[in-house]
Structure 1
Amino acid sequence: MVASTSKNRKIKNEQAVRGFTRSEEKQIEDHLFSIFNILPIIGGIFGYHQSPKWSALTYTLNIGMYTSVSLTALNLLYCSYLLRDNLSQVTMAFHCFLISCVVMTASISLTLQRNKLIEFLLKLQFRGPLAEYHDSDYFQALEGKTRQRIFRMLVIFLSCYGACGLIAVIFPFVDLYLKNADQVTNVPEIYWKGLPFAVWWPYDVHNSTSAWILCFLSQGIWALFAPVIVTTAVVLCFYGAELILNHFKLLIFSVKNLDQRTKAMYERKYKENSRTQLENVYEDCFYECIVQNVKHHHIILKIVEEFLALANYAIAVPFFGGALLLGLAGMNLLSTDDLRIGPKIFCASVGATEATNMFLLCVYGEKFQHEGEELFNSIICTRWYKRSMKCRKALMIMQCGSFRPPKITAARMIELNMATFSNLVNSAYSIFNLNSVASATEDK
C-alpha cells in the first residue's frame, strides 16, 4: 500500500514537472516508431528511450550526426571563403553549407522542444477526444487517409533526398572516368577528385589513398545524415499539419450536419417525446451542439499556436534562405569554369527537391487558410435566422472566432501560401538573372 502510494506520488510529481508521465512518453515513442520507424533517431529529431539499448543507440547516433554535420559545415564555410573567386565551386560549397544549417536547425530546435512535441501529440492522439463527435466514421476515414499520405511522403522524400546523396557520391567517379576533374582550382589544400564536393583537407587527398578514404567517408556520412534529418523533420511537420487539418475538416463536417446531430441528440435524450419534438427542448439540443463546436474550435486554435511554436525555426530557416538556395543552384548550373557534370546534376536534383519541399509547405499553408474560410462559410449557411436568440448568439461567437482563418508562418513573419512560393521563385530567378547580367557585362 505504501509502495503504491509512493509510486502514484512519483507519477504525479513527474506529470507536474514535465506535463506528462513516462508511460505517456512511451506511448508517443511507440506511436512515432509505428509511423517513422528509426528515422527520428538517425536524424536526431526525436530520441527513443524505451530501454537502455534504445537510449544508447539514440545518443550514439546523435553524437555521430552532430559531429559530422557541424565539422562539415565549418569546412564548407571555410571552403566558400577560399573558393570565392571560383563561381561554380563557391556556389556548390555555400549551397551545401546552407543545407547543413537547415539540418542543424531542424534537429536542434525539435530536440530542445521534445517535451512540447510530446504534449502536442498527446493532445491530438491520446488524451481523450477533443470533441464529443470525435468517434465518427468520417473522422476515422480522415485518419486512415492521413497515415497513407504520410507514408507516401516518407517514400517520396527519402527517394528524392537519397537520390541526391547517391548523385553526390557516384558522379565524381563518372567525372574521373570522363577526365573532367583534372584541373578545377589552383587553391592549395582544396581537393575534389573522387569527392562529392570540393573540400579543404589537412592531408594530400589526391596523392594518398588513406587520406582520400577518410575524406570520402566524412562526406559520405554527411550525405547519409542530411537527407534523413530533412526528410524526418519535414514529414513530421506535415504529419502535425495533417492532424490539425483533420480536426478542421471534422469541425466543418459537424457544422454542416448540425440538424442531423441535433435530431440524434434529441432522440437519444428524449426518446419518449421524439414524435412531439417540443420546440424549446429541441432548441436546447441545437444550442448544445453549437457549444460543442465552439469548444472544439477554441481547442483547435490553441493547438495551431502550439504547432507554430514547434515548427517555427524548422520552417523559417529554409524559407529565409530558400531564394538563395535556388539561386545558387541555378548559378552553378550555368557556370562555365567547371567542366564536371557531377556538381551540376547534384545542384539540379537538390534544388528541385528543395523547391518541392517549399512548395508542399506553402500548399499546407494554403490548406489552413482554405479550411478556415470554409468553416466561416459553413456557419453562414446554417440558417441561423430560424433559430432562437441564444443559438444565434452562440453561432455569432463562433463566426467571429473564424473570421480570420489560421495562417502558417515562418518565424511569424512570412505567411506560407502559394503567393509566398511565387515570390520565392521570382526571388531565385532574380538572383540568377543578376548573375547572368553581371557575367555578360564582364565578357564585354
Structure 2
Amino acid sequence: MPPGYSSGDTERFLPETHSGARSDFARDRARVLHSSGWRRLSAKTQVLSPTAGVDFARNRLTHSLEVAQIGRELAASLELSQDVVDTACLAHDLGHPPFGHNGERALNEWMTGFGGFEGNAQTLRILTRLEPKHFSPEGDSVGLNLTRATLDASCKYPWALEEAAPGSMKFGYFADDAPVFDWLRQGAKDRQKCAEAQVMDLSDDIAYSVHDFEDAIVSEHIDPLFLTARSGHDSLIRTVSDWAGGDFSTDELGAAFDRMAHSQNWLTSWDGSRRDQAKLKNFTSDMIGRFARTSIVATVTAADGASLARYGAEIVVPREIRAEIATLKGIVAAFVMQSGRRQPTYRRQRSLLIELLHTLEEAGPHELEPAFAADFRAAQDDAGARRAIVDQVASLTDQSAIAWYERLCTASLV
C-alpha cells in the first residue's frame, strides 16, 4: 500500500478477496479500462461532436486519457497514489451523456422536479450501480465495486443537489445513491474534496483548457491572427470574464492573456502547415508544464513536509495560473460553445434528446435495453421510472442517440 493510505482506503462496498500480485488500486484502474461505459466515451462529444465530420478532434475518451496522463505525473510529484489519481481521471467523464454539456443541460431540464441530472453524479452511479461486475447477496448491482479511495477521488462535487451553491447545478450524487456516497465519504469533512480528487479536477482543467484551445485552432474556429490583433481585444476579455462568472477581474484575465501570448510558441497565424502544427503542439506542452509545475511547487511549499494523501493537505493552484486556465477556456467558449453559428446545432441536439426521452417514457420499458427496462419496471414512482429512462439515454453515444431518435421519433411521424 502506498505511504499515507490506510486499510480503510482499500475497502470495497462489497468485500472481496483476491489472489495475485496486483494492488487494490491497480485493480480499480483495470476495471474502469475494461468497462463498456469507458469504451463508449470514444463516440461522445468533447467540444466538437464525433458526428460533425471532424475526424481529428478530441472525444471524451481521448480527453480522459490526456487527463490521466497529466494526473499521473502530478500524483508522482506530490507522492500520491498514481493508480488512484489515474483511475479517477479515466473515470471522471463516464457520466457525460450524448452531446456533452449540451446534452447534460437537456437531461437536467427533463429531470427538473425528479432529482435533476448531472454528469458527475451520473459517473458515481455508473461506477457503483450501472456498470455490471459485482452483485450483493440480495441481488443488487454494486457496479465495479471500486475501493473507497478511488471512488472518493472520482467525486468532483461531494454534495447533493439540495446542497449545491445558489445558481449552480453541480452536485455529486442522486438521492437513491446516497447510501454508497455516505459509505465512500466516511471520515471526510463535509464538502471537502480529497487531494486525489483535487488533482483529478486540476488535471481536467489543464487538459480541457489547452487541448480544446488546440482543437479550436486546428478546426479553424479560432483565428490566431484575430487573437493577436489588439482590435477587439477588450471585447474578447470581457466575454471571457462573463464566461468565468466574475471569478477574475478583466485586468487579471487581460494580464493572463498577455503572459501566455509572450510564450515563444504562441501562434500569430495559422495555415495548417506542419511547422504551425508543431508550434501549436509545443504551446500546449509549454502551458501544461507551466500550470503543473507552478501548482506542484505551491502545493509542496504549503504542505511543509506533510503527506498529501487523502485529506492530508490541499492542492494549491496559484491565482495567476487559475486565471490563465480560465482565459483559455473562455476563449474557446467565446469562439465555439457560445458562437452564434453553433447555437442552432445545440438547440437541435437538445430538442432531439428531449423528444427521445418523452417517446421512451410513453413507450414504457419496451424500447429500453433489458437492464434499463428492469429498472423501469422496478421503479416505485415516476421519479424512479424517469431515472431509468435517463440512465438509458445518458449511456448512448452521439451517433446512437441520433439513431434511436430516427428509429423511434421520426418513424412515428410517417
Q: Same fold (TM over 0.5)?
A: no
Select the structure of larger CA radius of gyration. Answer: 1
More helix by share: 1
TM-score (norm 1): 0.25
TM-score (norm 2): 0.27
